Amino acid sequence: MFKALTQFSVALVNRYLPSPFIFSILLTLIAFMLGVGLTSQNIIEMAGHWGKGLWSLHGFAMQMALILITGYALANAPIVQRFLDFLASRVKSPTMAIVLVTLVAMIGCLLNWGFGLVIGAVFAKALAKKVRSVDYPLLVASAYSGFLVWHGGLSGSVPLTLSSGGETLAKLSGGAITDAIALSQTIFSTYNLVIVSLIMLIIPALNALMHPKNPQVVNPDLIKQKVITLPPTDTPAQKLDDSRLMMMALVVLALLYYVGEFSKGADIGLNIVIGIFLFLGVMAHGTIERYYRAVGDGISGITGVVLLFPFYGGIMGIVTGANADGVSIGSQVTHFFLNHASAESFPILAFLSAGVVNVFVPSGGGQFAVQGPIMIPAGAALSVNPSVTAMAIAWGDAWTNMIQPFWALPLLGIVGLDARAIMGYCLLVLIVSGLIITGTFYFLV
């Protein structure tokens, strides 16, 4: 019965899911029509919101590109590759491979979502070379399912925003939060730890159960690790390019900077993480020249993200574009759920509404900017702790990434598959994880 359900889900997605680019265009058209219908704005006004939104995420897009590229280069450093190959060589069965890649990706995403995405993809390739009978699309889908927990981990943009305090937080919370909220109330709260623990227990087992009787195996020659070819070091310039001394000078300079920053109590924001990935990668590759070539090898993996960011920025512009009365699609969706909320059901409805909005705005920070100013004051009026409301939004954002192919693109670029190959499995992960999250919010909050 379960195998038949899995086959149906895979076949359904393969037949009807368009490419990520066309998917974004369809979402744009849907959002455009909803905007005209729900906010009483004309097509010129909605087109204006779309056009302004196209270029609204350039800074964030560069951060995303850098975190994925630096994460790729670090994950592909020889020392990291040897460790992953060592782990893969100890795996003897498809079931073990599926479970292990899911857990490795989840642990990576709990530390940092960019690193988790990349390490999951690289480890999936290492396992596919060692365990010849494993289904490659399911292996990659399992790696992507690790992304499910990112917003409950150390790089979650919503809990980190809450912990920073200041005017930005007051604005994003609609004035309901004026002081910083400690991570002990968000990431390290009991309900969040229970959600993460249940997902890490159940989803790897679910992924293993989905393994087909007739697996799609991959030709190992197609996923061989590329060998970085260096130019000869016949000249002083070439020797300087491949100098370990230059690498050490750069790393020492970076170390001095971070010591100074952390001694002043700097937050571990996205730029700090990108810098750590960058300099650890340089050190792991040994020289700046080798690191540069490793980064060049990974550039193709961010093609989809770079190309699609303007279009999702346009969708975000439509979703947030308000009329003269301040009404937007985002506020309408949020108010729809609020109209059916009580103090007991509010966290679950906040989670579900965030899941809907995330399909159109697949950005944790962007989504919180849409929903936070409405949801958090509304929750406070129902005596719901603002930290609970914020984490419900965070989990909704993470949840529907399982059917939103945008963040799968970097991983798919590394493993050489398209979204249709993995999204059928991810659909079942979405259903089961949704039950886990809603159940935890219902019984523990």
pLDDT of residue 67: 75
Query: Is 80 exceeded by the pLDDT of residue 321?
Result: yes
Of the chain, the percentage scoring pLDDT greater than 90 comes to: 39
Range of the domain at 211: 2-444
Confidence of residue 410 (pLDDT cuts 50, 70, 90): confident
pLDDT of residue 324: 86
Confidence of residue 85 (pLDDT cuts 50, 70, 90): confident
Would you say 332 and 378 are in contact if contact means Cβ atoms under 8 Å apart? no
**What's the rounded mean pLDDT across residues 36-43?**
91
pLDDT of residue 263: 84
Domain count for the chain: 1
pLDDT of residue 319: 85
pLDDT of residue 224: 64
How many whole angstroms from its chain centre is CA 309? 14
pTM over 0.85: yes
Query: Is 80 exceeded by the pLDDT of residue 287?
Result: yes
> Considering just the CA atoms, what is the radius of gyration of the chain in Å?
22
pLDDT of residue 337: 78
Query: Is 80 exceeded by the pLDDT of residue 6?
Result: yes
Query: Is 90 exceeded by the pLDDT of residue 100?
Result: yes
Q: Quick one: three-class SS letters along the chain?
A: CHHHHHHHHHHHHHHHCCCHHHHHHHHHHHHHHHHHHHHCCCHHHHHHHHHHHHCCCHHHHHHHHHHHHHHHHHHCCHHHHHHHHHHHHCCCCHHHHHHHHHHHHHHHHHHCHHHHHHHHHHHHHHHHHHCCCCCHHHHHHHHHHHHHHHHHCCCCHHHHHHHHCHHHHHHHCCCCCCCCCCHHHCCCCHHHHHHHHHHHHHHHHHHHHCCCCCCCCCCHHHHCCCCCCCCCCCCHHHHHHCCHHHHHHHHHHHHHHHHHHHHCCCCCCHHHHHHHHHHHHHHHHCCHHHHHHHHHHHHHHHHHHHHHHHHHHHHHHHHHCCCCCCCCHHHHHHHHHHCCCCCCCHHHHHHHHHHHHHHHCCCHHHHHHHHHHHHHHHHHHCCCCHHHHHHHHHHHHHHHHHCCHHHHHHHHHHHCCCCHHHHHHHHHHHHHHHHHHHHHHHHHC
Query: Is 80 exceeded by the pLDDT of residue 110?
Result: yes
**What's the rounded mean pLDDT across residues 145-166?**
89
Query: Is 90 exceeded by the pLDDT of residue 184?
Result: yes
Confidence of residue 147 (pLDDT cuts 50, 70, 90): very high
**What's the rounded mean pLDDT across residues 360-374?**
80
Would you say 265 and 271 are in contact if contact means Cβ atoms under 8 Å apart? no
Mean pLDDT across the chain, nearest whole number?
87
pLDDT of residue 176: 85
Of the chain, the percentage scoring pLDDT greater than 70 comes to: 96
More confident residue, 220 or 289: 289
State the CB neighbour count (10 A cutoff) for residue 364.
Answer: 25
**What's the rounded mean pLDDT across residues 385-398?**
95
**Which of 218-222, 318-322, 420-424, 434-438 has the weakest average pLDDT?**
218-222
pLDDT of residue 248: 92
Query: Is 80 exceeded by the pLDDT of residue 252?
Result: yes
**What's the rounded mean pLDDT across residues 364-377?**
81
**Which of 46-50, 136-140, 377-381, 439-443 has the weakest average pLDDT?**
377-381
pLDDT of residue 269: 62
Q: What are the pLDDT digits (tens) for 63-82?
A: 778 877 887 888 788 888 88
pLDDT of residue 270: 66
Q: What are the pLDDT digits (tens) for 218-236?
A: 877 666 666 666 667 778 8
